[in-house]
């Protein structure tokens, strides 16, 4: 079967690989849509330390069940539209022992530490497969990146009436905004791109701030009556925003980091104590987060298809990642149509 490879930084190719055979407890999936993730872009750029080349990228999946192995529950049927939780968990490490499977020390994500899904078929354990009610494979491919944002917001437990500020209107930030909006929070989206801020408004975000042209501190003070947000979530991966999150958040507030920076960040640590902050990291997502996003999609309250920048045919997969690399601010989500 045909597969797309990132051969080395800046280089890609198409090749042939063996079509997998479905094993007991597995489901053979025919891929229809695969979304490009930021990890795939970093692989293409040579900035992903977890990848060995060549690598088949891809783990944001919209697929149909093609074949079912022995021992798979009857709820899954050939022809079902599904998505996949693309992470592994060892069951032995500290994260797994605490039932925080998304924080498995030995996790291997499809398209990162192991071959991904930018191909025609893949066989996966049935426990990782989640069925959707929609018939739109584009929506299925959006579940995983939105689930990462849902998980990040859930770490901070956004509550009804709380003011939640989120830095970054990429897919993860937008997913976090959706979760906060659905929790009844008053959401403040911050970015430097007006188009992305407009996109956030379509998801029910109440306030937007373009921090490149507006006074961020003054605007946040105005929107929070001078107290600061109850929760600040950093989804942009900008060093200065890690610090700004601590500066802006209210006393006894919550800070969540889902972005990360290349270099170290220097804090004035007394603010951790004086404000008695809850500071949390967020990694990946869980099956519960996936199901929360699927429920949202099934309800149809928000049209998340507006988050898709472009659907690209499989044969143009290399051109698409090169385009994203050359102009990242113009892209929210590229989805590859495997066909």
Domain ranges of the chain: 2-131+309-337, 148-281
pLDDT on residue 182: 96
Q: Are the CB atoms for 122 and 114 separated by under 8 Å?
A: no
Chain mean position to CA 52 = 22
Per-residue pLDDT for 111 more than 90? yes
Q: Give the N- to C-terminal CA distance of the chain in Å, as an integer.
A: 13
pLDDT in tens, 136-182: 999 999 999 999 999 999 999 999 999 999 999 999 999 999 999 99
Judge whether 2-131+309-337 and 148-281 match in fold: no
Q: What percent of the chain has pLDDT over 90?
A: 96
CATH topology of domain 2-131+309-337: Quinone Oxidoreductase; Chain A, domain 1 (3.90.180)
Peptide bond into 54 cis (omega under 30): yes
d(CA 163, CA 186): 5
Per-residue pLDDT for 113 more than 90? yes
| The residue to which tokens 């079912």 are assigned | 68
pLDDT on residue 249: 98
Q: Are the CB atoms for 256 and 282 separated by under 8 Å?
A: yes
Q: Are the CB atoms for 150 and 174 separated by under 8 Å?
A: no
CA nearest neighbour of 41 among 322, 282, 237: 322
Give alpha helix (H) positions in 112-190.
137-155, 171-182
Average pLDDT over residues 198-212: 97
Superfamily of domain 148-281: NAD(P)-binding Rossmann-like Domain (3.40.50.720)
pLDDT on residue 81: 98
Average pLDDT over residues 39-50: 94
Per-residue pLDDT for 188 more than 90? yes
pLDDT on residue 263: 86
pLDDT on residue 174: 98
* Mean pLDDT of all residues belonging to the chain: 97
- Please report which confidence band the pLDDT of residue 259 belongs to, taking 50, 70 and 90 as the band edges: confident
Per-residue pLDDT for 16 more than 90? yes
pLDDT on residue 262: 79
Per-residue pLDDT for 261 more than 90? no
How would you class 69 by CB atoms within 10 Å of its CB: exposed for 0-12, middle for 13-18, buried for 19 or more?
Answer: middle
Q: What percent of the chain has pLDDT over 70?
A: 100
CB atoms inside a 10 Å sphere around CB 144: 28
Average pLDDT over residues 279-295: 96
* 28-42 b/e (C-beta count within 10 Å ≥ 16 → b): bbebbbbbbbbbbbb
């Amino acid at each position: 079967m045909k597969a797309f490879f990132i051969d080395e930084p800046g280089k890609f190719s198409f090749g042939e690989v063996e079509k997998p055979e479905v094993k007991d407890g597995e489901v053979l999936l025919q891929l229809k849509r695969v979304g490009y993730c930021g990890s795939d872009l970093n692989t293409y750029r040579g900035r992903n330390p977890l990848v060995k080349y060549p690598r088949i990228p891809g783990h944001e999946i919209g697929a149909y069940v093609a074949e079912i192995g022995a021992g798979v529950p009857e709820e899954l049927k050939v022809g079902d539209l599904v998505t996949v939780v693309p992470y592994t968990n060892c069951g032995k490490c500290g994260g797994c022992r605490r039932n925080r499977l998304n924080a498995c020390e030995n996790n291997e994500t499809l398209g990162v530490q192991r071959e991904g899904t930018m191909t025609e078929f893949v066989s996966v354990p049935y426990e990782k497969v989640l069925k959707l009610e929609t018939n739109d494979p584009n929506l299925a491919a959006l579940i995983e990146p939105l689930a990462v944002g849902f998980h990040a917001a859930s770490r901070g437990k956004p509550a009804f009436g709380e003011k939640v500020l989120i830095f970054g209107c990429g897919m993860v930030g937008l997913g976090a905004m959706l979760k906060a909006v659905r929790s009844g929070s008053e959401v403040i989206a911050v970015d430097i791109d007006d188009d992305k801020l407009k996109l956030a408004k379509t998801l029910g975000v109440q306030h937007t701030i373009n921090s490149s042209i507006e006074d961020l501190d003054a605007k946040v003070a105005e929107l929070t009556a001078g107290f600061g947000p109850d929760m600040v979530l950093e989804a942009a991966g900008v060093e200065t925003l890690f610090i700004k999150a601590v500066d802006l958040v209210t006393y006894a507030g919550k800070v969540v980091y889902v972005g990360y920076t290349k270099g170290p960040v220097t804090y004035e640590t007394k603010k951790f104590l004086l404000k008695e902050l809850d500071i949390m990291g967020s990694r990946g997502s869980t099956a519960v987060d996936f199901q929360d996003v699927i429920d949202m999609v099934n309800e149809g309250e928000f049209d998340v298809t507006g988050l898709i920048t472009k659907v690209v045919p499989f044969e143009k997969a290399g051109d698409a990642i090169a385009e994203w690399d050359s102009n990242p601010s113009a892209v929210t989500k590229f989805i590859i149509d495997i066909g």
